Amino acid sequence: MKELSETNNKDVKDLKSYRTIRSIRSLKLKKNTKINRFHILLDLYECDDKALAKADLLEQKIKKVLAEFELEPKIQTFYQFQPFGVTAIVCAQGVHLTMHTWPEFKSAALDLYCFNTRRTATQICDLIKTVFKSGEYEMKVRKR
């Protein structure tokens, strides 16, 4: 039994190093190449609970925000929880976002990953805050 577990551990180590090497090579980037990637976590509070409660209304609002930046959703899903609350997943060119709503607490959590400028990413978040009438928010921005 020891021989089998030792073999499996070796295979896992080999696989991890293979993936690492393959990932670095597949990028084909020079050492100092910069890619604009921003990851924003946005927690919204004191929002319009009606806008957060139903999937069809949330879909309209998110599409409105993306349209302002000329971003067309390529992949999207909006899941309606019962009795209320929504999880949204939207992928557009250069942007993907997920949003989870808790209308009973008038709050939502948004995860935005943007391959654009920091300014564009924060402008998208600012518009989302406005569209959902957020009274308070917490935003964390990380460059990737």
Buried b or exposed e, range 56-65, using 16+ CB within 10 angstroms? eebbebbbeb
CA-based Rg of the chain, rounded to a whole angstrom?
20
The domains found in the chain, sorted by start residue, are 38-143 (3.60.90.10)
What is the distance between the alpha carbons of residues 119 and 85, in angstroms, rounded to a whole number? 30
The per-residue pLDDT for range 32-79, each reduced to its tens digit, is: 666 678 899 999 999 999 999 999 999 999 999 999 999 999 999 999
Q: Which has more confidence, 88 or 115?
A: 88
Residue 22's pLDDT band, with cuts at 50, 70 and 90, is very low
